[in-house]
A = this chain, B = another copy of it.
Amino acid sequence: MTTPPEGWEARGRPPSWFRRFTFAKYAETRDFLDAVAALSEELGLHPQNINFAATHANITIEGPERQAPGAAELAFALRINALAASRVLP
């Protein structure tokens, strides 16, 4: 079973990975979401679900065909972390 990267929590069976990202203002949230969308296009992967409001975005990642996340999803989550690193509040 692939272990989720830093900041992500495995939930359910089969597990999906969940992380909440918090921002100072809407413009930062929006910028992050745009970057995630561009990354999704680049990788041909997208989150199973994104829930966002003015200052946060909750992202859920599933594996293919309702299986657990694997190597591709690990790479995806790490890239999302990198996108967020300069934006997320401590």
Cα A52 to Cα B53 in complex, Å, equals 12
Interface size of A by Cβ–Cβ distance < 8 Å? 12
Contacts of A46 in B (CB 8 A): 26, 54
The reply on A30 being an interface residue by CB < 8 A is yes
Q: Could you tell me which residues of chain A, from 23 to 39, have a CB within 8 Å of some CB in chain B?
A: 26, 30, 37
Choice from B30, B48, B53 contacting A53 with Cβ under 8 Å: B48
**Closest Cβ of chain B: how far from A68's Cβ, in Å?**
18
Choice from B30, B49, B54 contacting A52 with Cβ under 8 Å: B49
Give the interface of A toward B (CB within 8 A): 26, 30, 37, 46-54
Ranked 5 nearest A-B pairs via Cβ:
A51-B51, A49-B53, A50-B52, A48-B53, A30-B37
